[in-house]
């Protein structure tokens, strides 16, 4: 086994091969490095520009809400697979919220609760809507944020949310 580190969320993955996506935050493999060459994106303690701060605060709110919605959807899921999938999506979005709190150097806010449908199909539709909104927002934030590490983080998150859309679309067809 080897140690691989995700530069976006900072978690180490122990395994034979580099995973295609980070198991914790979902970042694509380009952001996962062998332990001896990995550089953390999240542990940078620089003072942030106002625009980056605003972008991260908005992302934190969005990710906390997504976490609560996906937790609701997991609870309503009709199959074991969909239950497990939404539980993981909820954790990935919480991980994104945690990344924001680390960059903002603040505590994680209390997790609220959100409503969702009793129907998986309706929840899939809502999930695509949420992920679509998040991915376009992060693409914008990657451009407007000034610091390199914040740009990298939003680039990674934009891709993760796009990958979530691909995942959910497979359940619809």
Name the residues that contact Fe ion, by CB under 5 A. 6, 8-9, 22, 24-25, 27, 63, 93, 96
Q: Report yes or no: 58 and 28 within 8 Å, Cβ to Cβ.
A: no
Rounded to 5°, angle at Cα 19 from 159 and 14: 130
Q: Report yes or no: 42 and 103 within 8 Å, Cβ to Cβ.
A: yes
Q: Report yes or no: 69 and 46 within 8 Å, Cβ to Cβ.
A: no
Of the two residues 133 and 143, which places its CB atom closer to Fe ion in the complex?
A: 133
Minimal distance in Å, beta carbon 32 to Fe ion? 7
Rounded to 10 degrees, what is the CA torsion of 162, 163, 168, 171?
A: 140
Minimal distance in Å, beta carbon 84 to Fe ion? 18
Rounded to 10 degrees, what is the CA torsion of 95, 101, 106, 111?
A: -50
Q: Where are the beta strands (DSSP E) in the chain?
A: 2-6, 12-15, 32-34
Of the two residues 119 and 143, which places its CB atom closer to Fe ion in the complex?
A: 143
Minimal distance in Å, beta carbon 165 to Fe ion? 12
H-helix or E-strand spanning residue 169: helix 148-172
Minimal distance in Å, beta carbon 43 to Fe ion? 13
Of the two residues 52 and 67, which places its CB atom closer to Fe ion in the complex?
A: 67
Minimal distance in Å, beta carbon 98 to Fe ion? 10
State both tokens at 86.
């939404």
Of the two residues 77 and 156, which places its CB atom closer to Fe ion in the complex?
A: 156
Of the two residues 119 and 140, which places its CB atom closer to Fe ion in the complex?
A: 140
């Amino acid at each position: 086994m080897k140690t691989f580190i995700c530069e976006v969320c900072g978690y180490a993955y122990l395994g034979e091969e580099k995973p295609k996506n980070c198991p914790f935050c979902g970042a694509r493999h380009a952001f996962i490095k062998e332990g001896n060459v990995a550089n953390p994106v999240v542990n940078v303690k620089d003072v942030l520009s106002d625009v980056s701060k605003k972008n991260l605060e908005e992302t934190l709110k969005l990710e906390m809400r997504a976490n609560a919605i996906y937790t609701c959807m997991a609870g309503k899921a009709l199959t074991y697979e969909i239950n497990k999938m939404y539980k993981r999506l909820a954790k990935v979005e919480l991980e994104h919220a945690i990344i924001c709190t680390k960059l903002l150097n603040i505590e994680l806010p209390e997790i609220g609760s959100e409503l969702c449908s009793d129907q998986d199909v309706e929840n899939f539709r809502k999930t695509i809507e949420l992920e679509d909104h998040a991915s376009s927002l992060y693409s914008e934030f990657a451009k407007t944020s000034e610091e390199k590490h914040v740009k990298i983080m939003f680039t990674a998150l934009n891709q993760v949310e796009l990958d979530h859309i691909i995942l959910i679309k497979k359940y619809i067809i």
